[in-house]
């Protein structure tokens, strides 16, 4: 496979947000590790309703960060330490809510705070209902984030979880890894 070890030695922070596509992030962790990356996972509260932190810990080999209010991690300002540790930050799935937060500088949870506190390159992998993706507010937010240098991978067009179809599917994990290797 051409992507094998293409991310050798890189420290990636994978931020998982709350959408049904969060289940694909588990496969993404596996593929990122196969490509040679060390993967630290941070999850939003809503992401934990779709996939458990234990799944990501088992796949990444590292404890998963889930809150700004983790007393053990935050005693040493862990969110800032983690933001500095990351050589790349990948948000997958990137929900409409998270895109809006990042575009407008909100930092009201661990993921948005990490993304604002890092100087690492940011890769956004949107996933949402096609109407949400095509909404002018979402398109304005994604344009603003691209203008600020964020890499955007996807979304893909096709069947969506609720039975509708259109642009909004999270790109497949292999395509996300390929985009990261190519960047």
What tens digit of pLDDT does each residue of 129-172 get?
A: 999 999 999 999 999 999 999 999 999 998 888 888 889 999 99
Q: Is the peptide bond before 93 cis (omega within 30 degrees of 0)?
A: yes
- Which residue is listed with tokens 């940011």? 122
List, in order of start, the domains of the chain with CATH numbers: 11-182 (3.40.50.1950)
E strand or H helix that includes residue 104:
helix 96-104
Q: Name which residue leads in pLDDT, 74 or 174.
A: 174
* 55 three-state secondary structure: helix
pLDDT digits (tens, 9 = 90+) for 68-127: 766 555 445 566 788 889 999 999 999 999 999 999 999 999 999 999 999 999 999 999
Strand-pairing partners, residue 88, are 12
pLDDT in the model for residue 3: 54
């Amino acid at each position: 496979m051409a992507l094998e070890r293409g991310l050798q030695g890189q420290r990636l922070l994978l931020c998982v947000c709350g959408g049904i596509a969060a289940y694909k992030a588990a496969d993404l962790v596996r593929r990122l590790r196969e490509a040679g990356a060390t993967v630290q996972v941070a999850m939003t509260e809503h992401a934990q309703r779709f996939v458990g932190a234990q799944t990501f810990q088992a796949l990444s080999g590292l404890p998963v960060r889930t809150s700004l209010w983790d007393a053990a991690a935050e005693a040493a300002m862990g969110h800032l330490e983690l933001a500095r540790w990351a050589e790349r930050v990948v948000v997958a799935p990137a929900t409409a809510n998270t895109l809006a937060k990042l575009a407008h500088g909100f930092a009201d949870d661990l993921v948005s705070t990490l993304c604002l506190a890092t100087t690492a390159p940011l890769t956004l992998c949107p996933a949402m209902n096609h109407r949400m993706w095509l909404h002018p507010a979402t398109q304005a937010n994604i344009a603003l984030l691209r203008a600020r240098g964020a890499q955007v991978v996807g979304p893909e067009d096709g069947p969506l979880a609720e039975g509708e179809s259109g642009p909004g599917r999270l790109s497949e994990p292999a395509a996300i890894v390929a985009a990261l290797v190519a960047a």
